A and B are shown apart, each in its own frame.
Chain A
């Protein structure tokens, strides 16, 4: 057997023909902290992969800074093996990663290598498609307006800050305010969103703890959501190079599905850490620091990434790539450099507030400064019809609530409004990992906004809500829930049936 293998290898080696050629080379001038300075390679292009020949084997680097006399490159492998004077060669290739359906259900690093111990992603012998990490965003002609909803399963978001497929909606807030939980619920809810194509969900972890990434993978598995999800992990222990590349890798994977006419959702958790990594790389490359020591192109770093999220026109297959970037603020300061940049790039923001979180309002959404600039066009008619006045009612309640703290005598109408506001607040509260299908949300909002819960105590709202949903699911699946889910409309006939059903339930 061994003899046969040796003979086979010999035949292959003998048959090997190589045409020796002149190659451009450079030399390593400086090395440190994952960055190398190289002389030579005058014709190297930006984002080109370079090979550094070290005594311990070849190491890959990414050309980032092309200067008059040298090239600044980002080492993608172990940089400790690189020595000053090592030869550097061009590859003529730009950074790309293998993409395909096989990635679904897997955990990969930003270079496409598996991290989940499930073995190779692609079958041997089959050359998978490779997508470049840096790609041009679709042009105006290739796009169409956002017109299909992407339900998160969170009542507060789907009713007041609707997200459409192809939109870029920022999730912003301090640490421990539930930003990742919102994103995770959005992934889990895609199973509930019957009647629509299930988007492929890509969770990009940038600088997150390994334990958190494992927890997220386990949660997705537990809720059967891993079958349409991909995790791109650049954990806290990875070098800054991988933190920097991770969002682009996630986006390149998402683009594969978008260009195939499918829907994809990509979550960048989080872009503050991505900006830190880029700041570190830029400072090591000795680029001039600007505000908060970030380099001058920090805005372009994020705008070129988020521009790749799009709803494609029918001629281009009608696919979509929705982006939910996450940004962490410090002490609620949304006016810091990175938050303001990303707020201005995205199509709206979901602002989560620590105070609300500690008051028990979860998701801790600040309705006042949260907004969706394009999503309302994609909101289902049923939700629009039922919850259209929710934002106004909620704002009025918050104003009144502040006012009655100082007022001694309050008239009956105001009292009623406050009571209704408190009930709306209760309805908007939602447990972690419990996304609610949109048809059920419509029914609950209809009941609370039309004062059906007038006689219910605030403390009993959650119990009543759960009871009503259970009642509707058991007895009115076909005549109320299914029509809303399938048509997205809230017809008069359905409304009448819902009125009767709610009245009957409350009588009990």
Chain B
């Protein structure tokens, strides 16, 4: 990589949040820049990182909700209480969780209320 991912990401985030910035033009130019530098393989990582910068700058949270099956009305209500307006909410179905939900905030904090998490904790055998 010509530059580290976080440097690219910071530049992209600052360009995109600048007043009067044209999103399409910036995206095209950024793509061209990555191609020129031979760093197109890392595009996804850079964009994710840039999104994190933007969210951090504007105090927006990304909340990922993982559940074993589609959430019912009652569960959706609980989730609505936990999130606030402006949060980016993503839902994912992961049958491996067996039951319950898992909440992940900004990819950095996790609340594991799944049955799988509880079982893992019971049978946790650590040799270290």
| Segment of A14-22, A176-184, A210-218 engaged in the interface with chain B | A14-22
| Residue A69 CB within 8 A of the other chain | yes
Contacts of A53 in B (CB 8 A): 120
**Which residue of A has the minimal Cβ distance to B117?**
A20
- Count B-side interface residues using an 8 Å CB cutoff: 21
| Segment of A25-33, A197-205, A290-298, A364-372 engaged in the interface with chain B | A25-33
**Which residue of B has the minimal Cβ distance to A87?**
B110
Q: Give Cα A93–Cα B6 distance, bound, in whole angstroms.
A: 29
Q: Give Cα A27–Cα B4 distance, bound, in whole angstroms.
A: 18
Given A93-B128, A111-B128, also A40-B112 (CB < 8 A): no
B108 to chain A, nearest CB (A): 5
| Residue B14 CB within 8 A of the other chain | no
B121 to chain A, nearest CB (A): 6
- A22 pairs with B109, CB closer than 8 A: yes
- B107 pairs with A27, CB closer than 8 A: yes
Q: Give Cα A6–Cα B56 distance, bound, in whole angstroms.
A: 50
- A49 pairs with B128, CB closer than 8 A: yes
- A68 pairs with B109, CB closer than 8 A: no
B97 to chain A, nearest CB (A): 12
- B5 pairs with A40, CB closer than 8 A: no
Contacts of B127 in A (CB 8 A): 111-113
**CB-defined A-B contacts under 8 Å, sample of 5:** A16-B122, A22-B110, A23-B111, A27-B107, A40-B107
Question: Which 3 A/B pairs are nearest by Cβ-Cβ distance?
Answer: A25-B110, A69-B6, A40-B108
Q: Which A residues lie at the B interface, using CB under 8 A?
A: 13, 16, 18, 20-27, 29, 39-42, 49, 53, 58, 60, 68-69, 76, 87, 89, 91, 93, 95-96, 111-113
Q: Which B residues lie at the A interface, using CB under 8 A?
A: 4-6, 45, 49, 104, 107-113, 118, 120-122, 124, 126-128
Other A-B pairs, 14, CB within 8 Å; known A22-B110, A25-B108, A58-B120: A18-B118, A20-B112, A20-B113, A24-B109, A24-B110, A25-B107, A25-B110, A26-B107, A27-B107, A58-B124, A60-B126, A91-B126, A111-B128, A112-B127
